[in-house]
A and B are shown apart, each in its own frame.
Chain A
Amino acid sequence: MIDSSLRRPRAQVPGPGNRLKLVVIGNGMAGGRTLEEILRRGGKDRFDITVFGDEPYGNYNRILLSNVLAGIEDTAEIYLNPIDWYTDNDIDLRSGVRVVRIDRSARVIYADDGTRMAYDRLLIATGSRTFFPPIAGLWVDDTTLTPGVFGFRSLDDCSAMLEYVKDARTAAVIGGGLLGLEAARGLQNHGLRVEVVQPTPTLMNAQLDDTAGGILRQSVENLGISVRTGARTTAVRSRDGRISGLEFADGTSMDCDMLVVSAGIRPNVGLARRAGLTVDRAIVVDDQLRSIDDDDVYVVGECAQHRGQVYGLVAPLWEQAVVLADHLTRTDSSAAYPGSRMATKLKVAGVSVASMGIKAPEHPDDEFVQFSEPKRGIYKTIIVRDGKLVGATLLGDTSKVALLIQAFDRGLPLPEDRSALLFDLGAGATEVGAAELADDVQVCNCNGVSKGTLVGCVRGGEKTVTGVMARTRAGKGCGSCKSLVSQIVEWAAGDDVEVDPAANWYVPGVPYDKPELMTKIRELKLHSVSSVFAALAPDGQEDAQSKMGLASLLEMIWAEEFVDERDARFINDRVHANIQRDGTFSVVPQMKGGVTSVQQLRTIADVAEKYDVPMIKLTGGQRIDLLGLRKEDLPAVWADLGMPSGYAYGKSFRTVKTCVGTDFCRFGVGDSTTLGIRIEERFQGIAGPGKMKLAVTGCPRNCAEALCKDLGVVAIDGGRWEIYVGGAAGAHIRKGDLLATVDDPDQVVVLTGRFLQYYRENAKWLERTYAWVPRIGIEKIRSVVVDDREGIAERLDADIQKAVDAYADPWRERERPATPGQFRTALPLTVLPQVGIAVGRR
């Protein structure tokens, strides 16, 4: 202790021109973090700040070093404060300069570059360094490690390892703690064979009990990392001046090309000790993070010892920095640091580990809850004391860690059923049908309508869903209960339910279902969307939501007689390309059956080069997608390609995916490629209520995924073909229903056409086959399409033929644009429909 009478009087009241001199020794996370907190409290006006850091960089996030080693994180992304941050905040940074002496009586520091600098306040944030156990051969001399031996502490360590792994094949890691395991994982990522050498019997013994350590070991070994426990390393072997292996106390040994030592850390306290500050395991501080010997000297981070505890984690450092800054800047002179709760979390490839607080019960009344499932590598324990969580270990499954850590940090109330802390218990919610619901259950929350009220309304004589909704206002708020309301009304009305006509309208703005609408359109010879509205909509009102659906229907009915009004179309259909996130377009030329040629590939390559296409992508439909084209280039691109449109944008027939078929495939039983091309040639480009994606596959191995297509054809033994319809593998997954099994490709083509036409005529707008087929029922569809029970097969065939005949490649519009602005460049980011409900467009 220094006699206080010898001290200079302290400058207490800073003001303009009267700022205190703050010197910070150490530019790691602790020093940097504390400075940020000081600056946030107006520290720039109170202090002239100088920072000494012996690493020659700005400050960086040390805990991400293992990510850097593993190649997950860019080095650039771990810097917290680059050099210019110091300049911007008027901080004098002396990087690469080491402070060698503190003269506390003179309040001056000396640095290894000859600097002598006076301070009013001193902040020691010297951190810690790797502890190297006494092992023979580890060092070449006092300061040089044997080549191939590394600590794992700094960016320099990391860079050196990343350089060295290029020529290394095997590595040893001494220390099976948190950092050692992360180092092992990092090295393994670079293709090295890695063995972890742990002197104690248990991995991560600071955090885990023996059971957990055992399970962790199993999991780590399953990842291909060897583990050797209870092994004390006695010597490093070298060959040609580099490490070649390790020797252990039990007489065994191992070979390795490199060694990472991660056997703990030691606080950097030499400077403080020489300055006469009290040092135990680290520099001893009070609750204000001041050295207990000197009110002008503050200490933060891994070099500080507070109430007997030295912290090697980042969260405590954060908490210390806040208290220190509050106190140093006099923002809150009563700020006191109570110590931190310790928690860690790491992931060794697939193995997650989290640990907080104590690892085993300590008091007789401690409640210890355990779950162990070694086969899956899962182990969980919690320790509860006086109703509060005081410790937890999670291994293999850390899904509950967020809850536990908050319960641990904040003393959250814990559920009586402790298992809820370890597992997500299913709520056990089951769908209750309309019949089982109790009468007083609220069906419509927005308007407070119960099932009983709905039923009462039906009994009162209202038999339509819309009528009940209008009278009770159920479903007239947010609308999300509409389907439940319908179910209840239908249940309550029994056979009396009157179908709400609007539910079956093809589009919302025209009050007819699809067959009626088609009849009217044919009778009145309505060839354009606007004429349909004028003739059939209430008051002739146009309805934006109905336009695209009507355009599609008219195109189907009238084929080439359809009067195409461009405003009825979505941008994709206006420019025959698929708009992308950034306002550019994608172009997919037709590639029938996914079969291409040298010439096609060469042309595509030339086009891609000429227009600087940023991405060329193979599509799921076996085509080539040129992405990132500008709208104004589209006509020229199509001209240069000289290939027809692949229709990768519209509500239309898209493509036929095929497998290799019989020519080359050893398993093929039917010539799927030829049939696929034939189908695509015939039905190319025909419009429909939704996309139509097809596939033909040459054997039941189903390489072309025919079972989950709108229509899929599968060759089976005996030269026969199965036709599946209504499959999907998008947002909805559905296996198609078997429509028919036929004997030859001609029949496949006929039934395909008939099915597609029936779908085009009967599905609602935007209703894909996966919804339409189950709605109508496969039996019904089969009876019409295959068995012709309704006698319309011939007409269906004729109408699809008409559609086939009307086919024209839309990319020919390049020669005469449909409207003057069709391919004009859109200003960036402005392609938008009118205000109103925007129509679905994926």
Chain B
Amino acid sequence: MTVRTHCPYCALQCGITLDISVRPVALEAQEAFPTNLGGLCAKGWTAAELIDHPDRLTTPLVRDAPGEPLRPASWDEALDRVAGAIRAAQNRYGANGVGLFGGGGLTNEKAYQLGKFARATLRTAMIDYNGRFCMSSAANAATRAFGIDRGLPFPLADVAATDALLLVGSNPADTMPPAMQFIDAARARGADLIVIDPRTTRTAMKARLHLQPAPGTDLALANGLLNVLIRERLIDLDYIAERTTGFDAVRRAVRLYWPDRVERISGVPEADLVRAARLLAEAEHAMILTARGAEQHSSGSDTALAFINLALALGLPGRPFSGYGTVTGQGNGQGGREHGQKADQLPGYRRLDDPVARTHVAKIWGIDPSELPAPGLSAYEMLDRLGTADGVHALWVVASNVVVSAPRAGHVAGRLRALDFLVVSDFFLSETAAMADVVLPSTQWAEETGTMTNLEGRVILRQAALPAPAGVRSDLWVMRELAARLERPALSADPEEIFEELRRASAGGKADYAGISYSRIIAEQGVFWPCPAPKHPGTPRLFSQDFPTPNRRARFHPVEHRGPVETPDAEYPYYLTTGRLLRQYQSGTQTRRVSALAEAEPEAVVELHASLAQRVGVGPGDLVALRTRRGRVLMRVRIVAGIRPDTVFAPFHYGGVAAVNLLTNPALDPHSRMPEFKACAVAVEAGPSRVETSVGGTTHD
């Protein structure tokens, strides 16, 4: 028997089938699913290894006292501990003494229920999620400019029909390989691919033009491109006049970004800047897509706005096969930010500080609007204050491995230790779970039903293919049980029932799911939101008529180059930038346990330019220490030609001595609260000559 479902990893949510009549379960790609068309990457092909994995947690674990090991326990004991700790924290510190930390891999139903659980059941303001570390800058920028935040405002397949594609800090050849089919199809038609990336990634190698700026200078580059377009009269004045506001201020701001100056800031040759501007302007259809490389900065939301300005000046958004989008990373990075696990949001992409939104949602939840808490702290701010006077003291982490994935991870681990109580739900014992007082084993992708919203804004359905191992429960079930133990109003644990409530809660909001049902999703290969009514066809393409802003126009925003908060100096002379590898995902909790993937990338490797390696005095395979103001890690050296000589690249999938987020800078974007993962100042030193241990290969101690 085969079940159609979706890959457990990234936002492409490739269609797959699972043949569950055999063990190990046989996994195939769906030939006709529109985002992968039969393709899968190495992570997808091996995803079935997660099922029946020997490391699976199959019983709750509790720790009797600090310093004691975790031991197996019954669900009753574990839930009693959790409920007791929540009550104790509420009594001692008030409702905001309890916090929740969610994940961008959770289904829409779980994300929705987590928001409701926090605000209606626990009445705490303290809920945020790891999507804050991914999509918040692009989301903030799109909301400011277009009045709506949907990663891609068009189907991914439209990329195949564009004539010029600018990718900024995006490396789909490694991060979502099946998506390259569309880019390759466009290139085969003669489309120009332009890539902005400090590294010569596999995507950059395919580009007609590769711009290689210093980390954190993308904004200056975007303003420089616009400066050239204005000078050469290549902007679309009619579009600007009819469909936008605010161009004059931007026009004035970018006058300061003449190509010579941008060349000096970014290191991108003037001739390449001019050529990129012309390629974009002369194409019949053009697209600009940003990703984490541009967005994970303390000026990330302004950087995204700079590229949106460029797209608007060229008259792209709303035109066929044209526009601006962001390439979402996590599996449900899109849906996860729409339905209420974000500190400032209510379901349907409503704002928690909007009285009308509060009334609407409170009514559906059967509470008084005044009972809803105010917006809480963003992800890093919450973690930073754990165990402090005005912070959270009892924290539930669901499907997130903050010890590896949060910036300044050493500090975050310290804050976790300062908590009165930590409970973690996951299906493997992640580095974060290993620190918990109670660990709750969760169902995983193939064992539960729920919807996800992919990078296109297409709502898709993951279907339970297999029964969960005995002793494993869904997070929805856990919320229901906790609500009962806390003597709060009952919660459902049935995903479809929760989805029906989510439909009503989202109705009339920006992300309107009111017309979407499980049966429609199955029949139509997913439905694009907004979809306000059952008869509504869904909305594959946004902005063809106008923009969902009060005056129906898109908004320009003048933005200025600020650069990274930390710049190289005598003690920390280089830039560190971080990112993903082809065969790993997120904090590696899953992928480091898949044998075929782990064997291919057994240890954490830092990429260095040959001239930097020579200056440091190391060769391929040597250990180096990377040191910043926040910590030190060890990694193996790989010498690559295609990286700037002032920049080192390290992947963020590894824990222990190779956890690169021990180094990263938690400087936050003022608008989105995104930390500056992508640029900080680092020292590179020859490591210990004797191999102490394998770096990052083990999953945890």
Interface residues, chain A, with chain B CB atoms under 8 Å away: 40, 61, 63-64, 72-73, 77-82, 85, 314-315, 343, 345, 387, 399, 401-403, 405-407, 409-416, 427, 445-448, 473, 476-480, 581-583, 731, 827-833, 835-842
Q: Do A828 and B180 touch (CB < 8 A)?
A: no
Bound together, the chains give a CA A839 to CA B34 distance in angstroms of: 14
- Judged by a CB distance under 8 angstroms, whether B568 is at the interface is yes
**Closest Cβ neighbor of B543 among chain A residues:** A829
Q: Do A473 and B267 touch (CB < 8 A)?
A: no
Q: Which residues of B contact A416 (CB under 8 A)?
A: 611, 614
Q: Which residues of A contact B189 (CB under 8 A)?
A: 840-842
Q: Which residues of B contact A427 (CB under 8 A)?
A: 641
Cβ-neighbour of A61 out of B258, B568, B644 (below 8 A): B258
Q: List 21 A-B contacts (CB under 8 A).
A: A63-B258, A64-B258, A345-B260, A410-B214, A412-B645, A427-B641, A445-B582, A446-B41, A478-B172, A480-B173, A581-B284, A581-B319, A583-B320, A829-B545, A830-B320, A832-B320, A833-B161, A837-B160, A837-B185, A840-B161, A840-B188
Q: Which residues of B contact A831 (CB under 8 A)?
A: 320
Q: Do B267 and A406 touch (CB < 8 A)?
A: yes
Q: Do A315 and B261 touch (CB < 8 A)?
A: yes
Bound together, the chains give a CA A314 to CA B261 distance in angstroms of: 9
Cβ-neighbour of B264 out of A343, A446, A479, A581 (below 8 A): A343
The contact string, 1 if C-beta is below 8 Å from chain A, for chain B 520-540, is 000000000000000000001
CB distance from B218 to the nearest CB of A (A): 15
Q: Do B544 and A830 touch (CB < 8 A)?
A: yes
Q: Do A412 and B646 touch (CB < 8 A)?
A: yes
Of B63-71, B268-276, B335-343, B425-433, the stretch lying at the interface with chain A is B268-276
Q: Which residues of B contact A446 (CB under 8 A)?
A: 39, 41-42, 177, 582
Q: Do A842 and B190 touch (CB < 8 A)?
A: yes
Bound together, the chains give a CA A820 to CA B39 distance in angstroms of: 41
- Judged by a CB distance under 8 angstroms, whether B403 is at the interface is no
Cβ-neighbour of B181 out of A40, A473, A479 (below 8 A): A479
Cβ-neighbour of A79 out of B155, B161, B255, B614 (below 8 A): B255
Q: Do B583 and A61 touch (CB < 8 A)?
A: no
Q: Which residues of B contact A473 (CB under 8 A)?
A: 40, 45
- Contact flag A838-B267 (CB < 8 Å), given A77-B255, A79-B255: no
CB distance from B67 to the nearest CB of A (A): 42
Q: Which residues of A contact B464 (CB under 8 A)?
A: none
- Judged by a CB distance under 8 angstroms, whether B80 is at the interface is no
Q: Which residues of A contact B690 (CB under 8 A)?
A: none
**Closest Cβ neighbor of B567 among chain A residues:** A410
- Judged by a CB distance under 8 angstroms, whether B163 is at the interface is yes
- Judged by a CB distance under 8 angstroms, whether B231 is at the interface is yes
- Judged by a CB distance under 8 angstroms, whether B356 is at the interface is no
Q: Which residues of B contact A413 (CB under 8 A)?
A: 609, 611-612, 614-615, 645-646
Bound together, the chains give a CA A63 to CA B257 distance in angstroms of: 12
Q: Do B180 and A478 touch (CB < 8 A)?
A: yes
Q: Which residues of A contact B285 (CB under 8 A)?
A: 581
- Contact flag A402-B267 (CB < 8 Å), given A478-B177, A479-B181, A832-B320: yes
The contact string, 1 if C-beta is below 8 Å from chain A, for chain B 170-185, is 0011000111111011
Q: Which residues of A contact B20 (CB under 8 A)?
A: none
Q: Do B161 and A841 touch (CB < 8 A)?
A: yes
Q: Do B41 and A477 touch (CB < 8 A)?
A: yes
The contact string, 1 if C-beta is below 8 Å from chain A, for chain B 538-568, is 0011001100000000000000100000001
- Contact flag A731-B214 (CB < 8 Å), given A80-B252, A835-B157: no
Q: Do B583 and A448 touch (CB < 8 A)?
A: yes
Bound together, the chains give a CA A80 to CA B568 distance in angstroms of: 30
Q: Which residues of A contact B568 (CB under 8 A)?
A: 410
Q: Which residues of B contact A445 (CB under 8 A)?
A: 173, 202, 582
Bound together, the chains give a CA A85 to CA B255 distance in angstroms of: 14
Q: Do A402 and B261 touch (CB < 8 A)?
A: no
- Contact flag A80-B645 (CB < 8 Å), given A830-B544, A838-B157: no
Q: Which residues of B contact A315 (CB under 8 A)?
A: 261, 264
CB distance from A539 to the nearest CB of B (A): 12
- Contact flag A476-B173 (CB < 8 Å), given A345-B260, A413-B611, A829-B320: no
Q: Do A402 and B263 touch (CB < 8 A)?
A: yes
Q: Do A448 and B545 touch (CB < 8 A)?
A: no
- Judged by a CB distance under 8 angstroms, whether B146 is at the interface is no
**Closest Cβ neighbor of B206 among chain A residues:** A480
CB distance from B463 to the nearest CB of A (A): 22
Bound together, the chains give a CA A836 to CA B185 distance in angstroms of: 12
- Contact flag A399-B271 (CB < 8 Å), given A445-B202, A832-B320: yes
Cβ-neighbour of A415 out of B34, B214, B596, B610 (below 8 A): B610
- Judged by a CB distance under 8 angstroms, whether B679 is at the interface is no
- Contact flag A402-B268 (CB < 8 Å), given A40-B560, A831-B320, A832-B320: yes
The contact string, 1 if C-beta is below 8 Å from chain A, for chain B 205-220, is 0100000001000000
Interface residues, chain B, with chain A CB atoms under 8 Å away: 29, 34, 37-42, 45, 155, 157-158, 160-161, 163, 172-173, 177-182, 184-185, 188-190, 202, 206, 214, 230-231, 238, 252, 255-256, 258, 260-261, 263-264, 267-271, 284-285, 318-321, 540-541, 544-545, 560, 568, 573, 582-583, 596, 600, 609-612, 614-615, 641, 644-646
CB distance from B501 to the nearest CB of A (A): 29
Q: Which residues of A contact B610 (CB under 8 A)?
A: 415
Q: Which residues of A contact B157 (CB under 8 A)?
A: 835-838
Starting from the known contacts A80-B255, A405-B263, A478-B180, 16 additional A-B residue pairs (CB-CB under 8 Å) come to A40-B560, A403-B267, A406-B214, A406-B267, A416-B614, A445-B202, A476-B38, A478-B177, A581-B284, A581-B319, A829-B544, A830-B545, A832-B541, A837-B160, A840-B189, A842-B284
CB distance from B580 to the nearest CB of A (A): 14
Bound together, the chains give a CA A473 to CA B615 distance in angstroms of: 41
Bound together, the chains give a CA A81 to CA B645 distance in angstroms of: 37
Bound together, the chains give a CA A81 to CA B163 distance in angstroms of: 36
CB distance from A60 to the nearest CB of B (A): 9
**Closest Cβ neighbor of B42 among chain A residues:** A447
CB distance from B4 to the nearest CB of A (A): 16
Q: Do B39 and A405 touch (CB < 8 A)?
A: no
Interface pairs A-B: 4 shortest CB-CB: A478-B180, A838-B161, A478-B177, A477-B177
Q: Do B39 and A478 touch (CB < 8 A)?
A: yes
Bound together, the chains give a CA A415 to CA B172 distance in angstroms of: 30
CB distance from A658 to the nearest CB of B (A): 28
Bound together, the chains give a CA A314 to CA B256 distance in angstroms of: 11
CB distance from A544 to the nearest CB of B (A): 10
Bound together, the chains give a CA A406 to CA B600 distance in angstroms of: 36
Bound together, the chains give a CA A371 to CA B178 distance in angstroms of: 47
Q: Which residues of A contact B271 (CB under 8 A)?
A: 399
Q: Which residues of B contact A61 (CB under 8 A)?
A: 255-256, 258
Q: Which residues of A contact B268 (CB under 8 A)?
A: 402
Bound together, the chains give a CA A73 to CA B214 distance in angstroms of: 29
Q: Which residues of B contact A838 (CB under 8 A)?
A: 157-158, 160-161, 321
- Contact flag A80-B256 (CB < 8 Å), given A399-B271, A835-B155, A837-B182: yes
Q: Do B252 and A79 touch (CB < 8 A)?
A: yes
Q: Which residues of B contact A77 (CB under 8 A)?
A: 230-231, 255
CB distance from A824 to the nearest CB of B (A): 16
Q: Which residues of A contact B541 (CB under 8 A)?
A: 832
Q: Which residues of A contact B644 (CB under 8 A)?
A: 412
CB distance from B261 to the nearest CB of A (A): 7
Q: Which residues of B contact A835 (CB under 8 A)?
A: 34, 155, 157, 540
Which residue among A64, A446, A476 has the maximum number of chain B CB atoms within 10 Å of its CB? A446
CB distance from B128 to the nearest CB of A (A): 28
Bound together, the chains give a CA A407 to CA B573 distance in angstroms of: 12
**Closest Cβ neighbor of A477 among chain B residues:** B177
**Closest Cβ neighbor of A80 among chain B residues:** B255
Bound together, the chains give a CA A70 to CA B596 distance in angstroms of: 63
Bound together, the chains give a CA A434 to CA B269 distance in angstroms of: 37
Bound together, the chains give a CA A411 to CA B540 distance in angstroms of: 49
Q: Do A479 and B269 touch (CB < 8 A)?
A: no
Q: Which residues of B contact A73 (CB under 8 A)?
A: 231
CB distance from A414 to the nearest CB of B (A): 6
